[in-house]
């Protein structure tokens, strides 16, 4: 048992000085007509769970399901707290966590969270707090496309509506970024999809999750066990 929510306060106290607190961070935002609003949160939580299975010094906190998702405004169901609120939330949440733990790992699976969380991490480090941010990255479709759909098929196939999966805007992200910055996702796709999820498959999702987990393990090992000079 290595989930914060399932332990008692005395149990946490016994392992606090030898554990890293991992906090999954996602979003509640549209992922096209075929993926659930929890997609980013599901991926972040899955990576933390896999890390927990591989390392007995990791304690996983409940996932944070809200982030900075303003680029998805206009799609029903998207709930965004914005960059300023997310930055403040991460700072205060981590300050509280450091009352108990010596090290905090943040795993964020939503790209819109990266800038505000990086600002929060810089502030926390300036306060001499040992915090690390991991953001999974992959080559391919940036949003609700082949990669995310494949991962959700691997993690929670019952919540994927493949009969509603359709191709969205398949242009390279660099090409559409100016439009996204001005008008959000609605400016380039009515479906909310950036990429093509129609050929997604669970096997590809399992492989990508294994790759991302390996990258997370490598980063955490380098952070916690720096090479000797």
Domain positions in the chain are: 4-224
- Quote the pTM value: 0.96
Cβ contacts of residue 134 below 8 Å, gap of 6+?
47, 105, 106, 107, 108, 215, 216, 219, 220
DSSP at 14:
H
Per-residue pLDDT, 228: 45
CATH architecture for residues 4-224: 3-Layer(aba) Sandwich (3.40)
- Per-residue confidence in pLDDT tens, the chain, 229 aa: 689 999 999 999 999 999 999 999 999 999 999 999 999 999 999 999 999 999 999 999 999 999 999 999 999 999 999 999 999 999 999 999 999 999 999 999 999 999 999 999 999 999 999 999 999 999 999 999 999 999 999 999 999 999 999 999 999 999 999 999 999 999 999 999 999 999 999 999 999 999 999 999 999 999 998 754 4
pLDDT at 227: 55
CB 141 within 8 A of CB 197: yes
pLDDT at 2: 87
Residue 226: the pLDDT is 77
With residues binned 3-state (H G I as helix, E B as strand, rest as coil), the percentages for the chain, rounded to 5, are 50, 15, 35
Torsion-angle region of 74 (φ positive above 0: left; ψ -120 to 50: alpha; else: beta): left
- Taking the C-alpha atoms of residue 55 and residue 48, their distance in angstroms, rounded to an integer, is 10
């Amino acid at each position: 048992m290595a989930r914060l929510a399932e332990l008692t306060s005395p149990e946490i106290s016994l392992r606090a000085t030898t554990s890293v607190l991992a906090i999954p961070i996602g979003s509640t935002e549209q992922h096209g007509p075929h993926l659930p609003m929890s997609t980013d949160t599901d991926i972040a939580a899955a990576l933390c769970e896999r890390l927990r299975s591989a390392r007995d010094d990791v304690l996983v906190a409940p996932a944070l399901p809200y982030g900075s998702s303003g680029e998805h405004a206009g799609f029903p169901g998207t709930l965004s707290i914005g960059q300023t609120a997310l930055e403040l939330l991460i700072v205060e949440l981590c300050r509280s966590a450091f009352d108990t733990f010596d090290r905090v790992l943040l795993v964020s699976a939503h790209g819109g969270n990266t800038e505000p969380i990086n600002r929060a991490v810089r502030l926390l480090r300036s306060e001499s707090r040992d915090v690390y941010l991991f953001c999974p990255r992959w080559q391919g479709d940036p949003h609700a496309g082949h990669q995310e759909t494949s991962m959700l098929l691997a993690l929670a196939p019952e919540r994927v509506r493949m009969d509603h999966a359709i191709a969205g805007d398949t242009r390279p992200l660099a090409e559409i970024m100016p439009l996204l910055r001005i008008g959000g996702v609605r400016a380039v796709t009515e479906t909310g999809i950036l990429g093509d999820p129609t050929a997604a498959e669970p096997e590809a999702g399992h492989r990508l999750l294994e790759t991302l987990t390996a990258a997370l393990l490598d980063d955490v090992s380098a952070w916690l066990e720096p090479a000797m000079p």
